[in-house]
Structure 1
Amino acid sequence: MDAIQVQGVSKSYGAQQVLTGIDLAVPAGTVFGLLGPNGAGKTTLVRILATLVRPDAGRASVVGHDVVTSAFEVRQKISLTGQYAAVDELQTGRENLVMVGRLRRLGRSAARRRAVSLLERFDLAEAGGKLVKTYSGGMRRRLDLAMSLVTEPPVIFLDEPTTGLDPRSRQQMWSFVRELASGGSTIFLTTQYLEEADQLADRIMLIDHGVAVAEGTADSLKVRVGGERVSLTFASASSVALAVADLDPVASTATSVTVATSGTAAEVRELLDRMDKIGAPVDKVAIHRPTLDDVFFALTGGGPR
């Protein structure tokens, strides 16, 4: 069953076309990554799915509810963590969580129990009694995510959730996302961090200037921009010249030559023997596999953060 369905969704603001005919489907219990440069339309699509913005054309549904005609029902099934932590700095972490619980119509005791549980789950138990204005950026981000999970919604939208976090806090956030997915939640993740999408997403859509340019698993997208490559480093310019003349390199520098390869040990050994025979002994060998960085640069007009 698909938790999210989008068919032909378009959106413009005045003369600026932000989204153009987006189609996608997100199976329940999976992590879907929406990847693209600044201004690609990622946040606009999230706002449409979260019922904050109406599409100009097309339709979208979340857990079977249309985002336009059944907006109230959609809001009961989702949580949204935006690019900036939406927390009250003048309250403690526990008070923030209890407040959200009460707003979502939990009883006082139930709201307090849920707050304690989430503080422990997000490693904030010791800080729960402290004012949020004393929290680090990573702690605020974790609290923000905890607040969005007070009522355990089946669909969670994370709009660039690790922006501005240090590497350790980012790794912690990734761990929480994996935990949510393993528990059956559907995660819709937007990000500019290529490694983040590679690590977390079951499927990825790449959009640029509001147009979907590619969709698939991380591995299938990498295959689209080419297979593996082997880089041979030589001790002299004359060896490089011999290698370039003998091979069909995809790239070369003053000290190295790069050729396409299947990546097998037999092929690499054959390549090294071939270089020895022509009098161009190899100093170093490095095998490069395509990354989402390669996909990003090959298929979009922008660059990652």
Structure 2
Amino acid sequence: MAKSALITGLTGQDGSYLAELLLDKGYDVYGLVRRSSSSSFGRINHFANKIHVISGDLLDQFSLMDAIDQAQPDEIYNLASQSYVPLSWTQPALTAEYTAIGVSRLLEAIRRCKPDARFYQASSSEVFGQPDESPQTERTAFRPRNPYGVAKAYAHWMTINYRQKYDLYACCGITYTHESPRRGAEFVFRKITRGAVKIKLGLAKELKLGNLDALRDWCHAEDVVNAMWMMLQQNKPDDFIIASGETHSVKELVDCAFSYVGLNWQDYVSVDPQFYRPDEPVTLAGCVDKIKARIQWQPKYSFADLVESMVEHELKDLTDGGA
């Protein structure tokens, strides 16, 4: 009998890749989708006929219980949240409702309706905020510096508390920045790869960026969702950092993307102070020793592979008539 899985945040970058992974493994896949006139199914259109879509909302306790009753999932992956950090400052209460309290509602629904289900909670490196060490490990203290990070910290600790109090199989994956061609265009990685291709094709003349010396730990979303699945296949639940284990500067990313299309980035890129983030005295970089040792997870994509895949996608998209 096939396993079943319920994914919240199905239509997002991670949800779409995870659904594909689980379908390939023979799962019955259910996706919780918020009923909205603006819901976008673009990322899942190519396999939408293979999954079961359930209407529900992290703001509505009963819709979560109904979804679990309907799907009877062996595994539940919570990937839904208000995840854009700048928006968390303009909508802090809504961010808390979805990203923090929504997880409490989901954990309670699991406890009441399907306590034997295995649960994955998408935690975030934003919980570390301004950490006192780099790279960070699973034992690094949480010091979130924005409403999104605060909400994710709450969700992380609630998941651990439900695991300890009710003996649920519940895990947190502390993910660092991860990219793919399905990434939103407002994020800097895609802004750079798309900007380079637009300039190459004559659709733009320049690209304005913030601090080129800022360091990031980037990996591919496909590698991240594979780690999520592997975490739920272990004998005991545990929490893991999911990252590349490497840092690269924005300047390295720019150089790599522009070089791939045969351009010298210095001819086209300018620095605009409005895109600067606040000072980051300690770099957010994940130590992946634990996840590699405990569950033998290994990223498939290198940094160069990731940049190449993103640039190739933009070339195809923009030459096929994308804007």
RCO higher in 1 or 2 (8 Å CA, sep ≥ 6)? Answer: 1
Specify if TM > 0.5.
no
Q: Which of the two has higher C-alpha Rg?
A: 1
Q: TM-score, normalised by structure 2?
A: 0.26
Q: Comparing both structures, which one devotes a greater share of its residues to strand?
A: 1
Q: TM-score, normalised by structure 1?
A: 0.27
